[in-house]
Amino acid sequence: MARSSSLLILIGALGATTAAGQDGPGAYKEAPSIAVDHRLHRVGELAPDLPFTSIAGEATSLARYAEGRPLVIAIRDVGCPLSKKYGPRLAEIEQALGDKDVRFLYVNPSEIDTVEQMRAEKAAYGFQGAYVADREGTIARTLGCDRTTDVFLLDGSRTLMYRGAIDDQYGIGFQHEAPRHTYLLRAIDAVLANRTPDVRATTAPGCAVDWSGRDVQPVEPAITYHSRISRIMQQHCQSCHREDGVAPFALETYQQVRARRGAIRQSIETGVMPPWHAGEGSRAFLNDRSLSARDRDALFRWIEDGCLEGDPSDAPRPLVWTEGWEIGEPHAVVTIPDPVSVPAQGAMGYRYQYVKTDFPEDRWIRAMEIRPTHPEVVHHVLVFIEEPPREGETRREIQARWQGGLQGYFAGLVPGQATTMYPEGTAKRLPAGAWLKFQLHYTPNGRAVEDRTQIGFIFADTAPEREMHTSAAMTTRLDIPPGASNHEVKATTTFSRPAVIQSFAPHMHVRGKAYRYELTWPDGTSEVVLDIPRYDFNWQTRYVLREPIRVPAGTKLTCTAWYDNSDGNPANPNPKARVRFGEQTWDEMMIGYFEYWRDE
């Protein structure tokens, strides 16, 4: 009796509609969460061509059924309350996409639902796609199903592009009048446009699927170039390593990857590639470029097994790179006035150029992109809102007026990150008639070139709900002793108003060794939100949070930097120098940039 009562209570909670004021403090509720590492759920991998027979008796397979079209696989359970609630929604989505050539497949892994019940459900909701009684659980288990409301989206090459919730209208212990986030529809729109979905995985509230006691294991495709390695290259390497990309060589074909297998393995083993430096214990980030342990093992196993090419029919669709501006045709473009000559060799200090904009009123920027003429020689570009120095003005006076970019920057570029697109309802203000100061850092690569960098803007039609700000925890009081191998410097800032943090961007120079962002909440508890144990000056990464952090007034942000001024640092220009604050790379900086909006 106790077990039956518990089951009834659970099912009652799943099916309940929360009435305002009726659920007490601590009542359990579960909504979809985007704080999910998609790489741990096989997103981006090839789905095997699994055979199945529908309840109508049609014997086929995933590839033959989809016929090269995107495929939505929806998990079903006749008895689950949330699965029932999402039946009409799935039918609506399927019908709405009827002219967009997207196929639907309904998979029921229940051990107790009968075929008659499945037929009745299919008819009641009006599902048009095939319905499968996945008794053995082969399809659901291979896809990684753990809830009865999971959906999986495959593109035309059977790459898993999204997994998780349909939307967020229904959850455990609540329901809304309408969904706020239509995860599945947005993912389908992205795939139809040959783009990667912004959200690639979520949790999906629903009845848990328990695989214990069921003799079924996920089907694993053989590791070949076409089935596995090509997808890893696309997702982690080709944004730079492609024809006409900023990297020195392309990794777009079997022959190219096989020929570079030694360099690939070395770069992964040393942590040089892919360039990602957030350590364990950090928050999750949308632009995480690191390899999962599963991807790393697959790459090494492929190399050890002789670099098998595999079946070309398993290959992913080639990535389509945007020609011209990635943000689309800009509403306005600002170009530095003077070309910069970059020599074939040697080191270059920072170059600065100023441009006055001519906008008669404030403009709201929802997307921007920095485009050098020769990105292969650009280490980074930062753009600040700052006037040129006045005649006779000293450096100290300039810094007093403009802070020298220490409190924030307007836009930035690093290799692989040239565009900035703000979340819906958010934009950054460009004041009327503002001056833009370009800080340009070049790294000669063996060929002399002439660069003329531009920045393009996409304007919002109206003022946004939220204004994006850039600020920093920083200090100019640097005094790094000669030979110091682990010199620590701290800087803090306290939020006087409630805010929502969207990203972090630490900045040091060549003696930078490690960096950490830590939040201390008003109750005195603290959390390390970004830990960089191996800071690399060559990659000035902007870490964009998967879930922005809401901070109440009184929250303190502490940034800690460590510097290596010893002769054990190969990048150190002079281990015998006492190093102080300065803008050139042989000086040092300590800036913990972050982007936020006010939570009002």
| Domains present along the chain, CATH in parentheses | 28-192 (3.40.30.10), 225-314 (no CATH), 324-464 (2.60.120), 468-600 (2.60.120.230)
Please answer whether residues 131 and 94 qualify as being in contact, where contact means their C-beta atoms are separated by less than 8 angstroms: no
Regions in the chain scoring below 70 on pLDDT: 1-26, 393-406, 416
Q: Rounded CA gap, 135 and 137, in Å?
A: 5
Residues 294, 44: Cα–Cα separation, whole Å:
12
How far is it, in rounded angstroms, from Cα 332 to Cα 152? 39
DSSP state of 228: I
The DSSP string of 459-487 is E-SS--SEE-EEEEEE----EE-TT-SSE
Q: Which H or E element spans position 319? A: none
Bridge partner list, 414: 417
| Pairwise CA distance, residues 416 & 240, whole Å | 6
**Beta carbons within 8 Å of 45's beta carbon, 6+ residues apart:** 159, 160, 228, 231
Nearest residue to 155 via CA among 132, 110, 188: 188
Instruction: Give yes or no for a contact between 543 and 287, defined as CB atoms under 8 angstroms apart.
Output: yes
DSSP state at residue 550: E
177 CB neighbour count, 10 Å cutoff? 5
Q: Supply the angle between the helices 81-96 and 2-15 in degrees, to the nearest 10.
A: 30
Tell me how far apart the alpha carbons of residues 436 and 39 are, in angstroms, rounded to a whole number.
39
CA distances from 524 to 10, 499, 521, 556 (A): 36, 18, 5, 10
What is the torsional sign of CA 566, 381, 465, 180?
negative
Q: What is the pLDDT of residue 14?
A: 37
Bridge-based pairing of strands 526-532 and 512-520 is antiparallel
Sequence-distant (≥ 6) Cβ neighbours of residue 110 within 8 angstroms? 77, 78, 79
| Gap between the Cα atoms of 406 and 559, Å rounded | 14
Return the pLDDT at 316: 97
Give dist(CA 170, CA 318) in Å, integer: 36
Listed residue (219, 217, 238, 227) closest to 298, CA to CA: 227
Q: What is the pLDDT of residues 42-55, one digit of tens each?
A: 999 999 999 999 99
Q: How far apart are CA 439 and CA 27, in angstroms?
A: 53
Residue with tokens 């000086």: 587
CB 156 within 8 A of CB 66: yes
Per this entry, what is the length of the chain? Answer: 600
Per-residue confidence (pLDDT) for residue 585, from 0 to 100: 85
Question: In terms of DSSP bridges, do strands 59-61 and 160-164 run parallel, antiparallel, or are they unpaired?
Answer: unpaired
In whole angstroms, give the CA distance from residue 435 to residue 334. Answer: 11
Query: Residues 342, 432: contact at Cβ < 8 Å?
Result: no
How far is the C-alpha of 477 from the C-alpha of 490, rounded, in Å?
10
Calpha distance 98→291 (Å, rounded): 37
Cα 578 from Cα 600, distance rounded (Å): 45
* Residue 441 backbone phi and psi in degrees, to 5: -120, 120
Q: Are 130 and 137 in contact (CB under 8 A)?
A: no
CA angle 181, 501, 518 (to 5 degrees): 130
Calpha distance 225→82 (Å, rounded): 40
Query: Taking a C-beta distance cutoff of 8 angstroms, is the pair 122, 115 a contact?
Result: no
Model pLDDT, residue 6? 27
